[in-house]
Amino acid sequence: MPRTDARRIRFGFPWVYDNEMVVDRRTKSLEAGSLAVLQDAERTPLGLVAVSPGSKIFCRMLDRNPEAEIDQTWFAARLSVAQAMRARLYDTPFYRLVHAEADGLPGVIIDRFGDVAVIQPNAAWAEARLDLLVAALQEVTGVSHVFKNAAGRARTLEGLSDISQVLVGAIDAPVPVPMNGATYLADLTGGQKTGLYFDQRDNHAFAQRLASGARVLDVFSHVGGFSLAALAGGAVHALALDGSEPALDLARQGADASGVADRFETRKGDAFDAMTALAEEGQSFDLVVCDPPAFAPSKKALDAGLRAYERVARLGAALVEPGGYLALCSCSHAATLDKFRMASIRGIGRAGRQCQLIHSGTAAPDHPLHPQLAESGYLKALFFRIL
């Protein structure tokens, strides 16, 4: 039973924290991933929840019907609703199919790459019912290959293993992904996250609009997300900078597949050191994009993370030609849009530059926001014109 006002749960908040619960010894001893009926102080049922007694998130709401049966049919119904929206948005089956709580599957991420799906079951309840989820996924989508990605901090917090594995079929090569007129190569079994960042799709497209005839620097490029989109949009040259040689190799393969290899260059190195070196070399660009990893993954890391974002902005702004453009991204949910924007503007100012903020971007619509979870609005992209 929640200690606090149950109206928040009734109005759609999907979690109950451990300090909000009144529990007995039997409840505390439940196995992580067990199902239970959540009741308010008057013992009125609020819904069917998944329980994780060892987690800060003690309960995750699965169904407002306390008598719901979490079987293959239940999973298939949720997946069908999720796929129907994506099918309206995209002509080809390359997208985030399930975005956790926002799609009614708490802690579950599923990215689709044509005939392949990558699942991140980041909550114990989903891990315990993975066979049902996979069967429903194949039933709804018809995919022939399914990979379980078990990496990530969220699984550790749920007490789950970090062993990834192919669950159905076989995945023995990077998968080509068409997006914004470019072709990307996604390493689904050994790359970062699920292999590709679909969430940046719309921000890639906006950068592409600024790239015609431009010289482009793509910092923290991963597999060439912004640089390949820019080249597809008519950039005259793009330099992709990343610390991972395997990621840069996939970027080069993507450039070949996109027919833009003659205008594409890569450089391996620490982003801060490399941007400093580029400035010392006297290089400048018409469009600079910086899409770093989460510098502020938690509130505890916020101050240090904002300082890092400010430094990125300062180094990036120094490399932009007057009248050119600087795109700065953050995937830290702890850094709000206001805080990230102010850190970015401070950094640009400390580079001795003035700016106009011309566009603010978020995650693509296949990453819907849960209206009551600030965490789901993690991605921010700011596009500045540097004067």
**Contacts of residue 297, Cβ cutoff 8 Å, sequence gap at least 6:** 153, 305, 332, 333, 334
Structure tokens at 290: 């910086």
CA of 110: how far to CAs of 113, 116, 201, 225, 366, in Å? 10, 10, 16, 20, 11
| Of residues 312, 318, 309, 249, the one with CA closest to residue 278 | 318
Is 355 a residue of the active site? no
CA of 125: how far to CAs of 140, 195, 282, in Å? 21, 24, 54
Q: Directed axis angle between helix 130-141 and helix 72-89, to 10°? A: 40
Contact present, 290 and 382 (Cβ < 8 Å): no
**Number of other CB atoms surrounding residue 242 within 10 Å:** 24
Q: Directed axis angle between helix 225-232 and helix 201-210, to 10°? A: 50
**Number of other CB atoms surrounding residue 270 within 10 Å:** 12
Determine the Cα–Cα distance for residues 257 and 268; give it in Å rounded to an integer: 21
Determine the Cα–Cα distance for residues 332 and 380; give it in Å rounded to an integer: 8
Determine the Cα–Cα distance for residues 168 and 143; give it in Å rounded to an integer: 9
CA of 294: how far to CAs of 25, 354, 380, in Å? 38, 26, 11
Residue 69 CA to its chain's centroid (Å): 30
**Contacts of residue 80, Cβ cutoff 8 Å, sequence gap at least 6:** 140
Determine the Cα–Cα distance for residues 202 and 205; give it in Å rounded to an integer: 5
The upper half-sphere exposure of residue 173, i.e. CA atoms within 13 Å in the direction of its Cβ, equals 5
Determine the Cα–Cα distance for residues 62 and 66; give it in Å rounded to an integer: 9
Burial of 264 (0-12, 13-18, 19+ CB in 10 A): buried
Which one of the listed residues 59, 290, 329, 331 is annotated catalytic? 331
- List the catalytic residues: 331
